[in-house]
Amino acid sequence: MPRPCSHYPVTDFTYFATAAKGLEEVLAGELRALGTDEVAPVSGGVHFRGGRADGYRACLWLRTANRVLQPVATFPCHSAEQLYEGVRSCPWEEFLNPGMTLALDASVRDSVLTHSRFAALKGKDAIVDRLRDHYGQRPDIDTVAPDLPVNLHIHKNHCTVSLDLAGEGLHRRGYRLERTAAPLRETLAAGLLLLSDWDGSTPFVDPMCGSGTLPIEAALLATRTAPGLARTFAFQKWPGFDARAWQALRDEAHQLRRPAAAMIVGADRDPRALVAARDNASRQQAAGGIIWDRSDFSRLTPPPAPGVLFCNPPYGERLKDDGALDTLYRSMGDTLKQRWTGWTAWLLTGNLDAAKRIGLKATRRIPLWNGPLECRLLKYELY
């Protein structure tokens, strides 16, 4: 039998914040730092419990989460009929007023139902049918910016139906419109910084900054700026939205902001990358103090030590010539040894063979996933 809407309506919700593989513990740490009780990391995300405002706070403050989901039903799902009935049994009329738009996305794994698009369509039919019966009119579908984004997760013939609080993924902070080749996801960039325990009190340099993601995320962290402060979220359009609680959270976030204590530098040898990075930074107030420098890494002058250097060099998927990649990594190693004494360097790479050319011993090697690419975050202490 379907077990619909077991968590609704109640004052406490169970939430699930999703994260890139490898960042679950970092995300759990972020939630604990926000004062969230009952935090349970699992592969792909973190379960946590809290009231409505805790869901809002999570969207506003979490740097490494991709989404914050609020499960509203969970039931066995061995067939399309079970899926339809399970989804239809939720009180969608409580979540969606007439005139609001809807969209569904689905993921399916190790189940009788194998097609996520089919599952999403079946789920959408169930919601639309229920709302048409209730209101006498069907809701519109908006796949770009729906008022109510719904997520279906079917795993081992078990379906979880969730409301997606943010709508657009949380990596969309509102500043990055310009992209260069292979930009890091904002949430992964923030995860690297949190893994390093950099607290903003020493200089930060990214000598291969591309579109500027790492320096801009560093500026957000150093100035204690909530990453969601410059955007809106789907939950703001939901029935029962607590506008007063949301305003209080935003006011608190504004008050917590502080000036950056140390220099943040983004450099790249490619002038187009610098244009994109500057442009992105111009859309984020916290990034106003970043120093941008067009330079080859080998010629970049480090600020006085100690400091942290973060670098996301090319991995070579596009550089077909392995020799060129080896030369680049070898030259990076030489530069670090000769010019960056007293610094701590963190490198994210998906090319471990090339990383050997650096010729320095990593004191930490953290496995992380950059999209589909398995990577390592390597730490070097440059004595």
Ligand X SMILES: C[S@@+](CC[C@H](N)C(=O)[O-])C[C@H]1O[C@@H](n2cnc3c(N)ncnc32)[C@H](O)[C@@H]1O
Q: Is 110 left (phi over 0), alpha (psi -120 to 50) or beta?
A: left
CB of 207 vs ligand X, minimal distance in Å = 6
Rounded to whole angstroms, the Cα distance separating 267 from 263 reads 13
CB of 187 vs ligand X, minimal distance in Å = 12
DSSP track, 301-313? PPPSSS-EEEE--
Task: Write phi, then psi, for 304 (nearest 5 degrees).
Answer: -60, 140
The residues pairing with 365 across neighbouring beta strands, listed in sequence order, are: 378
CB of 312 vs ligand X, minimal distance in Å = 4
DSSP H helices, the chain, are 24-33, 52-61, 80-88, 92-95, 116-135, 186-196, 213-222, 243-256, 271-281, 322-339, 352-356
- Is-contact 181 90, C-beta < 8 A? no
Nearer Cβ to ligand X (50/313): 313
Map residue 15 onto helix, strand or coil. Answer: strand
Nearer Cβ to ligand X (139/314): 314
Nearer Cβ to ligand X (182/263): 182
Nearer Cβ to ligand X (134/337): 337
Nearer Cβ to ligand X (147/268): 268
CB of 370 vs ligand X, minimal distance in Å = 9
Q: Which residue do the tokens 């049994």 mark?
A: 89
Which candidate, 360, 348, 180, places its Cα nearest to that of 271? 180
CB of 285 vs ligand X, minimal distance in Å = 20
Nearer Cβ to ligand X (208/234): 208
Q: Which residue is nearest to ligand X (CB)?
A: 210
Residues that bind ligand X (CB under 6 A): 180, 182-184, 207-211, 213-214, 268-270, 273, 296-297, 312-314, 328
Rounded to whole angstroms, the Cα distance separating 133 from 149 reads 21
CB of 308 vs ligand X, minimal distance in Å = 15
Tell me the two tokens of residue 48: 């946590």
Nearer Cβ to ligand X (121/182): 182
Task: Write phi, then psi, for 123 (nearest 5 degrees).
Answer: -65, -40
CB of 318 vs ligand X, minimal distance in Å = 9
